[in-house]
Amino acid sequence: MTSAFLVVGATGNTGKAVVATLSGLVKASPTFSNHKILAMTRSASGAAAQKLAALPGVEVVEYSWVSITADWLRQHNVVRAFIASHNEPTQFAEETTFHVAALKAGVEYVVRISTTAANVRPDSDAYYPRAHWAIEALLGSPEFKRLRWTSLQANIFTAFYLQTAAALVNEFRETGKQSPLRLIGAEDVPVGVVHADDVGEFAARLLVLDDVAPHNGQKYVLNGPEDITGRQIVALVEQEIGTKVEEVHYKDMTFIDYLVEHSPGPKPLIESIKHDPKEKFYRHFQVEVTSLQDQIERLSTIAAVGGERKDAADSILAAISRLSSEVADASDFVPSYDQRNYAQAIKTLTDKLNVTTAKLAPRSRFQFKSRIQPANAKSDPRVLSNTNDTATPQDTRTPATSTASEAQDAVAPLPPTTVRNYNDEIAQPSSSHIRKPSFSTARDIAIYGQTDLHILLPATASHATSSGRLTDISGCVVDMSRATGSAAPFANLALKNIERSLVLAGNVDGPVHVTSIRDSILVVSARQVRIHECHNMDVYFYCGSRPIIEDCSGMRFAPLPKSFESPGDDSKNQWDQVDDFKWLKAEPSPNWSVLPVDERLEDRIWSDVVPGEPGKGLKDILQAVKIARG
């Protein structure tokens, strides 16, 4: 009997693309060219089913998948299967019955559709993400080791996310009238919606792999190529109808009320969909951001006398810092694309606070700067020498003189101060071969547009690590490790457009996004690391989750050097468990490898040469770490 691929839900959102893609792949496959495709549907006479029946190698089967047994699977000689089940309260019982049947029938491999990764948790308030978690836990149990499986945790589908917008466009074209536009998304938070056809094609490509062992037990998170906000959806609708949308409701959940009203199942279960952790955190975050924006705008109304305005600004800064920490703590259930958006919102708040306080502060005719170095910086000669913020003789005055001068300065209004540009300072010619920007008035660290420099952040910059950005760097050594120790890690870090450079990024409590880096070395410890479009790069790191690479080549990975602080249990370091999202073949990805031990930089290089030896400069460091200068 001819062996078969079974597609459960063949005329559904993803099933159609699975069948269509399989039809072409199976025909061209030396291994599976004699296999047929069973497209299971509730109605073989429907238009979608008839269209699938016309494809090569496809046989439409009208059957209820919840009735499938091990005997049925054996009779049809099913060797691999795809299943997209429903989201009704009976999902767990019915889908696991299918998997038990597959196990007993000797099915080799199953690809299943899950739900948004952030929600698949045992403590999710919504019932169906808990069901998906339980199904994955069941499949991962020892009793199911003979059945190989992959779960696709796709983000919300494009058609579902935009359906109300499409309905309004159609209504306006037919009647010239508008109903309120009800969007489930927020006004200004981007969402990486994904097309169901893309998910289906991905599933089909997994099903025809000769060796599926590397994908066994994997849970792949699938997002679309572009994010879209609620405001952008409104703009698209207005472009289509040629006029302004009259009424918009963001984050509208009335469709759940409709489901509750018409569902035959327990209504409290359906209502629980409103309470997923990602959604709850989003609401909390928006409330906090709105409150902080209001507080920043009210700063100008608070008297500067007695330090009241300064206390208010410090309170706002502390609240922003707490919110940044909450984002980092939420990384377990908030997807990476949402984390980026949250980080950007925090940066916007920080920038707004910086600008507001700078405008409100009078410019003094002289400045007081502390000569006192932090205890952990006093013994560091690199911090003690050539620090831009070191006080000059005219800065030192007695407290009495200071008070009198301040009172005198308050008599006449003075021009406001400007926001300090540390990148301009870094780029200025200097007698020292090391630049040490303090970021003393900044809330986060952003270094960009630098070439052929040795940049070292002293420990005194640790107050500015709410987020970090390093962009457009060439031929540099950038050491941020001293400012980002275990007590002051970055909340998140973005590295982009870097070439022929050594970057010591330090500790990151959240995600690291690495984009467009080549011919360079990176040292970092983080919870999550995602690398895009990078080439010929060595990475020494600690990673608390599986690192991801996409569109990369020549990547080599090694654990942190001994001279760098490890943020956690070394046994949990997944530095060598790299997932290449653009490589689905059975053999190992050619785009990355483990850096051979004999080719790793010696400990002496990290401890003595990289910090900057006396009489040695940038050229010597890059030569020692084997980075060729342009």
Task: Output the six-digit token pair for 210.
Answer: 């000769």
Least confident of 349-358, 405-414, 455-464, 591-600: 405-414
Q: State whether 607 and 467 are in the same domain.
A: yes
Q: Specify whether 445 is located in the same domain as 340.
A: no
pLDDT at 257 > cutoff 90: no
pLDDT score at 211: 92
In the chain, pLDDT over 90 holds for what percent of residues? Answer: 43
How large is the average pLDDT for residues 250-256? 74
Going by C-alpha positions, the residue among 87, 86, 82 that lies closest to residue 99 is 82
Q: pLDDT: is 44 or 388 the higher one?
A: 44
Residue 561 and residue 448 share a domain: yes
Mean pLDDT on 276-300:
78
- The residue type found at 37 is I
Q: Is 519 inside a domain boundary?
A: yes
**Domain assignment of residue 495, yes or no:** yes
| Domain shared by 352 and 497, yes or no | no
Tell me the CATH number at 487.
2.160.20.70
Q: Could you tell me if 444 and 311 lie in one domain? A: no
Span 84-125, pLDDT tens digits: 998 788 899 999 999 999 999 999 999 999 988 777 888 777
Does one domain contain both 437 and 344? no
Show the domain range for 306.
Answer: 279-356
Task: Identify the CA nearest to 482 among candidates 619, 602, 380.
Answer: 380
- Say whether both 347 and 218 belong to one domain: no
- Shared domain for 307 and 213, answered yes or no, is no
Asked which of 202-206, 306-310, 336-340, 594-598 is least confident by mean pLDDT, the reply is 336-340
Q: How confident is the model at residue 378 (pLDDT cuts 50, 70, 90)?
A: very low
Residue 67, exposed/middle/buried by CB under 10 A (0-12, 13-18, 19+)? exposed
Give the 3-state secondary structure of 562-613: CCCCCCCCHHHCCCCCCEECCCCCCCCCCCEEECCHHHCCCHHHHHHHCCCC
Q: What is the CATH number of the domain that holds 284?
A: 1.20.58.1250
The least confident of 19-28, 176-185, 378-387, 504-513 is: 378-387
Same-domain check for residues 214 and 289: no
Q: What is the mean pLDDT of residues 140-169?
A: 94
Q: How many angstroms separate the CA atoms of 594 and 399, rounded?
A: 59
Question: How many structural domains is the chain composed of?
Answer: 3
As given in the structure block, the two tokens for residue 265 are 């199942």
Left, alpha or beta for 618 (phi > 0: left; psi -120 to 50: alpha)?
Answer: alpha
| C-beta separation of 152 from 216 below 8 A | no
Instruction: Over range 455-468, report the average pLDDT.
Output: 75
Last residue of a domain, one of 324, 356, 388: 356
232 within some domain: no
Per the DSSP assignment, residues forming a β-bridge with 83 are: 8, 112
The region of weakest confidence among 121-125, 401-405, 492-496, 560-564 is 401-405
444-459: average pLDDT: 86
**Same domain, residue pair 113 and 201:** yes
pLDDT band per the 50, 70, 90 thresholds, residue 370: very low
DSSP-derived letter for residue 424 is H
Q: What angle do CA 586, 588, 589 make, to 5 degrees?
A: 110
- Check pLDDT > 90 for residue 476: yes
Give residue 394's pLDDT band: very low, low, confident or very high (50, 70, 90).
very low
Same domain for 513 and 619, yes or no, is yes
Ordered DSSP codes for 220-282: EEE--SS-B-HHHHHHHHHHHHTS--S-EESS--HHHHHHHHH-SS-HHHHHGGGG-HHHHHH
Which is more confidently placed, 224 or 519?
519
Is 503 among the domain residues? Answer: yes
616 in a structural domain: yes
Q: Which of 356, 386, 417 is the last residue of a domain?
A: 356
Q: 616 and 488 in one domain?
A: yes
In a domain, 385, yes or no: no
Mean per-residue pLDDT over the chain, rounded: 82
Residue 594's pLDDT is what?
Answer: 96
| 399 membership: H or E segment, kind and range | helix 399-409
Residue 377 counted as domain residue:
no
